[in-house]
Amino acid sequence: MFRETLIGAWSLLVGMKVTLSHVLRAPVTSQYPRERIEMSKAYRNVIRLIEIDEIGSHDCIDCQACVRVCPSDCIKVEGERPDGMRKKRATLFEVEFALCSECGLCLDVCPTDTLGYSREYDQAGFRRDDFLYDLLDEWRDKEADVRTRLREDEAKKAAAKAAAASKAAAAKKAKEEATAAAGDTGDVAVEGEV
């Protein structure tokens, strides 16, 4: 009995030593939600739309590539071709994150590279609808300005293309006239020799 008491006391002292050594160390865990941790750049979570610098907004063109490749069938995209623009713009980009497996296939097939991973880590909900997001919600306020700027850019490109085409046509016509004029003078010289 005395031996068992001694073994128990020794075990208690060893445990207290381990506890005291950890009390003096810095905490390993964060005090969430009071303390927000910064995620590494390699961290990836659900998808989001990325801002393209040249546009100042996303560049989803409603190509449906992400919808077709999604194995979870959790993406729904709708779009329209705004007046005065060649490219379509997405009007709805709905993702049901309760079904999303975060495989990244949609990012791989996106032709405009406008999809990326978000760095959010505290998504929680009580109902399935809590995980149904329209990724365009954060872009809706700026969409009218972006469409105006894109129309202006397309008009400038079309004018530059038309100017280049007319310049090329004028150069071609001048070359043809020069060739015809050179051919006429050559024929006269040949006729004079005969």
55 near 146, Cβ under 8 Å? yes
What token pair was written down for 97?
């994150």
Residue range 80-100, pLDDT digits in tens = 998 878 889 999 999 999 899
Q: How far is CA 91 from the centre of its chain?
A: 16
Phi-psi region of 84 (alpha: psi -120 to 50; beta: other; left: phi over 0): left
What pLDDT sits at residue 184?
Answer: 64
pLDDT at 181 > cutoff 70 = yes
Cα separation, 127 vs 94, in Å, equals 17
Average pLDDT, the chain: 86
CATH topology of domain 39-145: Alpha-Beta Plaits (3.30.70)
What pLDDT sits at residue 111?
Answer: 94
pLDDT at 187 > cutoff 90 = no
Residue range 46-60, pLDDT digits in tens = 899 999 988 889 999
Q: What is the pTM of this model?
A: 0.66
Domain boundaries, the chain: 39-145
What pLDDT sits at residue 189?
Answer: 47
